[in-house]
Structure 1
Amino acid sequence: MTNKKDNLLDWLRDAHAMEQQAEKMLQGQASRLEHYPDLKLRIEQHIQETKGQIQLLENCLDRLGSKPSIFKDMAGKLTAFGQAVSGMTVSDEVVKGAMSGYVFENMEIAAYTVLIAAAKTIGDQETQRTCEQILPQEEAMADWIKAHLPELTEAFLNRSASSDLEAKR
């Protein structure tokens, strides 16, 4: 049987790995974007938020006498690398990248919702506050992507219909 704190710690380590994956995925995406400046700017902003989130999660783990999982962090980074490589092979990378970013943000929203409930259940107010600080950043990014998917799609389609413009990135 696993106690509640052990579950919370495991989920915090999962969140840390998830944010490591997000950072690598976002950095790769931003580095390849050439023709979508608004998307690139928002991704770069979220990279900075993600770096802060990683530090906040490390602070929680440290305060609770634990540390990130090297294995989970490495797996997350490897997954991000695979996503970057697969994205480079498709002609509509910017659209598929935005779609996968939206899905990933919603996974993060779910993870922080679970962490808030777990921290509240065991009475860890500091972890609860930390996750309540991170959650709106993830929600804002998901909302931004969703709101901009139509114009991004239109821009991609218009660029791809022109023989003079590159649309992929």
Structure 2
Amino acid sequence: MQTIDSLDDMFLLEIKDLYHAEKQLTRALPKAARKAKSSELRSAIEEHLQQTEGHVNLLEEVFKMLGQPPKAKVCEAMRGILKEAEEILSSKVTPPVKDAAIIGAAQKIEHYEIASYRTIMQWASQMGRDDIKQVLGQILDEEEETDRKLSELAKTSINSRALAEV
């Protein structure tokens, strides 16, 4: 285990963790898109995949700003959330119910990311790294927008279709 002596060390560790989390998502989102029955949900997932690929690139920029090579630290939290999501994707359930479950799994992912980015943005601010805070804020804005879109999709169509399956 690495010794953490400062907030700078902790910050870098969290950037590495999020870098791994985002990279895991670039591999997981295409499968979720294929399993989604709703074209609106599939489109939302595909759009988020493009954003996630951009997040990987933005985090690589943060590494450069820190004078560090891009290096991932295994994100066990995302690994666990994605394992749960995989169980949903593999389950035998009616397509409308699976779509509702996919949204639930996706929102767990978004909420983890939102909490993580908010934390490290605060750290960047307190460390006087407004340049990095701005980059992280761009990622956070996209994560929050994805969460809003998923909520709206669930409320306006997906959950109703799932309820109709009863």
TM-score over 0.5 for the pair: yes
Counterpart among 31, 36, 39 of residue 34 in structure 2: 31
Q: Does 1:68 align with 2:71?
A: yes
**In structure 2, what is the equivalent of residue 45 of structure 1?**
47
- In the alignment, residue 13 of structure 2 is paired with which amino acid? D
Paired residues, what number? 158
Residues 88-108 of structure 1 deviation map (CA, whole Å, 9 limit, x = unaligned): 114132211111111211111
**In structure 2, what is the equivalent of residue 56 of structure 1?**
58
**In structure 2, what is the equivalent of residue 166 of structure 1?**
none
Task: Describe the shift of the 1:57–1:113 C-alpha distance in structure 2 as closer, same or farther (beyond 3 A).
Answer: same
Correspondence 1:20-169 to 2 at 5 A:
20-33=23-36, 35-64=37-66, 65-69=68-72, 72=74, 76=78, 80=82, 83-91=85-93, 92-150=97-155, 151-158=157-164, 160=165
| TM-score normalised over the length of structure 2 | 0.83
Separation (CA, whole Å) in 1 of partners of 2:78 and 2:144:
21
Query: What runs of 5+ residues in structure 1 fail to find an aligned partner?
Result: 162-169
Contact map agreement 1:25 1:83 (CA 8 A) in 2: no
| 1:15 positional shift | 1.1
**In structure 2, what is the equivalent of residue 167 of structure 1?**
none
Contact map agreement 1:24 1:77 (CA 8 A) in 2: no
Separation (CA, whole Å) in 1 of partners of 2:84 and 2:162:
23
| 1:16 positional shift | 0.9
**In structure 1, what is the equivalent of residue 11 of structure 2?**
8
Separation (CA, whole Å) in 2 of partners of 1:147 and 1:78:
26
Secondary structure at the aligned position of 2:33 is classed as helix
Separation (CA, whole Å) in 2 of partners of 1:76 and 1:103:
10
- In the alignment, residue 15 of structure 2 is paired with which amino acid? L
| 1:22 positional shift | 2.4
Separation (CA, whole Å) in 1 of partners of 2:86 and 2:158:
19
Contact map agreement 2:41 2:99 (CA 8 A) in 1: no
Query: What runs of 5+ residues in structure 2 fail to find an aligned partner?
Result: none
Secondary structure at the aligned position of 2:74 is classed as helix
Task: Describe the shift of the 1:112–1:51 C-alpha distance in structure 2 as closer, same or farther (beyond 3 A).
Answer: same
Contact map agreement 1:20 1:73 (CA 8 A) in 2: no
- In the alignment, residue 163 of structure 2 is paired with which amino acid? L
Q: RMSD of aligned C-alpha atoms?
A: 2.3
